[in-house]
Amino acid sequence: GDTLGAKTAATTAGVALNANDDTMVIIEIDASQLPDGSDWINLTTTSVSASIFQVTAILSGYRYQGESNITAIA
C-alpha cells in the first residue's frame, strides 16, 4: 500500500533497518526541536553492503497539521 505505518520514536543510537527492499523512512522534525543555534540536521548512514539511498526534504508551513495520511491508490 501507500499509507504509512505506525510512528516509531528513534533513540539517540539511531534507527536500524534490516535487509529489506523497498523501505521508506520518514523523519519528522519540528524546528522547535532543534538545539539553540542549530539551523539544520545531519543524517549519517552506515552500511556493510551496497545500498541505494535517496533523501528528500520537504519544507513547508502547514495549514493543516493532521495525523492521517491519505492514500493515492486506494
Q: What is the pLDDT of residues 41-64, one digit of tens each?
A: 888 887 767 777 777 877 665 555
The pLDDT of residue 62 = 54
| pTM for the full predicted model | 0.54
What CA–CA distance (Å, rounded) separates 18 from 47?
A: 11
Q: Tens digit of pLDDT for each residue in 20-42?
A: 667 778 888 877 787 888 878 88
The whole domain housing 37 covers 1-74
- Domains of the chain: total: 1
Confidence of residue 68 (pLDDT cuts 50, 70, 90): low
* DSSP label at residue 12: T
What pLDDT score was predicted for residue 60?
60
Query: What per-residue confidence (pLDDT) applies to 16?
Result: 76
